[in-house]
Each structure stands twice: as structure tokens, then as C-alpha cells.
Amino acid sequence: MAIQWYPGHMAKAKRQMIEKIKLIDVVIELVDARIPLSSRNPLIDEIAANKPRLLILNKADMADHNLTDDWIHYFKEKGYSAHAVNAQSGKGTASIPDWVHDLTAAKREKLESKGFRARADRALIIGIPNVGKSTLINRLAKRKIAKIGDRPGVTKGQQWIKVGKTMELLDTPGILWPKFEDPEVGLKLAATGAIKDELIDFQDIAVYLLKVLMAKYPNALKDRYGLTDIPQVDGEPTNEEIVELFDAIGKKRGCVIGGGNIDYDRTSELLIREFRTQKIGQITLETPEETR
Ligand code: G4P
């Protein structure tokens, strides 16, 4: 789980990552398909600048399929090799060695033209906490690799794991900290569970989620909570509209305290939990359109 990052942690993580990157041919950058931009730390562009990069949108099972396709298109237009997978079930992951191999083709050809035989492609998985790095390593290794803490400094001997015929993967991932100077990015990271729950205000997150759901997934909300009416929102919903919706959901789910008042803490927790477990549906919180 996410820890709080201090400047010392960050400096150490960066140093360790730079050392690891020297050993590899391809960086596998893992992001959360529900927030493909907000779950990146742009520092990776600096750290991995001179290496080919495979961008993997993980947790595709939790995200909105149409938007995942849009995101893949968006990243491909930017020149990335981008693909969606589900590390938990393994869907899509068997192709990772081939995608990596494609990225080393030019280097391999150059070596071979000089009469050298290229060795296996060496890869490293990098991402912020909770994006599924350990799950993917275990999946590719076909066994459980001990998880190191999300704490730079907690290291152990690193080993190469053979994956398929062409790839070797470092068994410890590169861990970047989540970057959330922009408050909305912070809300998205918190909603998806990338920031420790103790550090977040559940009501803030629930209000944020409701705003997104009202605007982008009103039918999913209606279906999940048996609501007949969702206020039609043009742009940002007003506070009154949000409170109205909160009340309706709280009432439907029996989140009430004395005097029939809504228990906003419980309603918030319920909403966040149901978002995180796809009870409301497959939801993506940001779109490529919003970046234009
Ligand atoms: P990390 O190393 O990057 O920190 O992430 P980790 O692999 O620990 O994964 C974080 C959580 O995300 C885990 O759930 C893991 O099972 C889940 N996860 C990883 N990849 C996927 C995916 O593609 N789809 C889905 N639905 N979930 C995924 P957890 O609840 O923290 O642990 P557990 O229930 O697996 O024990």
C-alpha cells in the first residue's frame, strides 16, 4: 500500500531507479487504466529518457472499455507502444514479451549486422504504488515473488526472471511516488486507492466521484442506486444538486442517523467502496478529450 513520501524517499527512489535503468533495454511503465495520466509520474520521462518504453494500461477490467481504446489511441499518436492488460486475470499479459521484443528490434538488427548475437531483452516494470506492479511481475514469472515494501531503501538481491524465450524481467519493480500537486489529480488517485486511505478525506473523494458520475455515467448511478431521477447537469453540478444526490443514495442504502438525517461519512465510504469494486460499473475518471 502507498506510504507517505518524503523528500529523502524521493531522492533515494530516483537514484535507485537510475541505477536499475542502466541494466535494462526496455522500461515497462505501468499505469492505471481508470486514470492513465494521473497515475503517471512525469519524472519517468527524465529517468527513462534514453530507453524504449512500453506503456501498459493495467486494471483494464475496471475501466471503461471505450475510453481505454481512446487512451491507447492517444498514447500511440504520441509515439508510445501502448496496450491494455489485466494483470490479475492475466488477460493480455502473454503478449508483453513480444511487445518488448518489437521495441528492441532496431538495436538487435544493429548488433546482428556487426556479427553479434543479441541477448534476451532486459526489462524493468516501473509505476506508482498500487498500479499492479507486483501482480504483473508474479503473473509474468508464473510464481509469487516476495513483495518489497513501497519504500525505497527496502531492497534485496535483484534477480532476473526469464519470461518466454526473449525476455528477462527484473524481479523488483521501480517505484515512483504519485504526483498530485494538482488537487484533481489527488482526488483521482485517492478514489482509485493509490493514496493511503488514512491520508484522505472520504467526503471530498465521494463528492468528486459523484460529480464525475453525474456528468459521465448518470445511468450507471441510476441503475446502481435505484434512482428515478438524476439532475441534468450542464457543466459543474451545484452543491445543492450534489447534496440532493447524496441524500437520495444515503436514504436508499439506509445510511441514516438520528432524526432521519443522512450519515454522510457512511454514504461516502459506501460510494468509494462500490466504485473501487466496480459495483457502479466500469468507470474511467479522465478522458483524452480533456487534455486537448
Ligand atoms: P503494486 O505492486 O504496484 O503496489 O500493486 P499490486 O500488484 O500490489 O496491486 C495492487 C492491487 O491491485 C492488488 O489488490 C491487486 O490484486 C490489484 N490488481 C493488480 N492488477 C489488477 C488488475 O489488472 N485488475 C484488477 N481488478 N486488480 C488488479 P489488493 O486488493 O491490494 O490485494 P489483493 O486483493 O490482490 O490481495
Q: What cell numbers appear for 7 in the block?
A: 523528500
Query: What number does the ligand 1 atom closest to the CA of 58 have?
Result: 23
Buried b (16+ CB within 10 A) or exposed e, 216-245: bbbebbeebbeeeebeeeeeebeeebbeeb
Distance of CA 275 from the midpoint of ligand 1 (Å): 15
Q: Encode the chain (292 residues) as per-residue pLDDT tens digits.
A: 455 788 888 898 899 899 999 999 999 999 999 999 999 999 999 999 889 999 999 999 999 999 999 999 999 999 999 999 999 999 999 999 999 999 999 999 999 999 998 899 999 999 999 999 999 999 999 988 866 655 555 556 789 999 999 999 999 999 999 988 899 999 999 999 998 888 789 999 999 999 999 989 999 999 999 988 776 666 778 889 899 999 999 999 999 998 889 999 999 999 999 999 999 999 999 999 998 8
- DSSP state, residue 212: H
| Contact call for residues 2 and 141 (beta carbons, < 8 A) | no
Query: What number does the ligand 1 atom closest to the CA of 62 have?
Result: 26
Distance of CA 87 from the midpoint of ligand 1 (Å): 8
Identify which of 206, 29, 7 has the alpha carbon closest to the alpha carbon of residue 128: 29
Distance of CA 123 from the midpoint of ligand 1 (Å): 20
Report CA-CA distances (Å) from 249 to 192, 227, 264, 271, 274.
20, 8, 10, 9, 12
Distance of CA 91 from the midpoint of ligand 1 (Å): 14
**Residue 169 β-bridge partners:** 123, 161
Query: What number does the ligand 1 atom closest to the CA of 1 have?
Result: 4
Buried b (16+ CB within 10 A) or exposed e, 182-193: eeebbbbbbbbb
Mutational pocket test of ligand 1: of 32, 88, 128, the residue with most ligand atoms within 8 Å of the beta carbon: 88
Mutational pocket test of ligand 1: of 3, 83, 130, the residue with most ligand atoms within 8 Å of the beta carbon: 130
| Contact call for residues 27 and 54 (beta carbons, < 8 A) | yes
Distance of CA 132 from the midpoint of ligand 1 (Å): 5
Query: What number does the ligand 1 atom closest to the CA of 91 have?
Result: 23
Query: What number does the ligand 1 atom closest to the CA of 150 have?
Result: 4
Distance of CA 136 from the midpoint of ligand 1 (Å): 9
Q: How far, in Å, CA of 245 to CA of 229, rounded?
A: 9
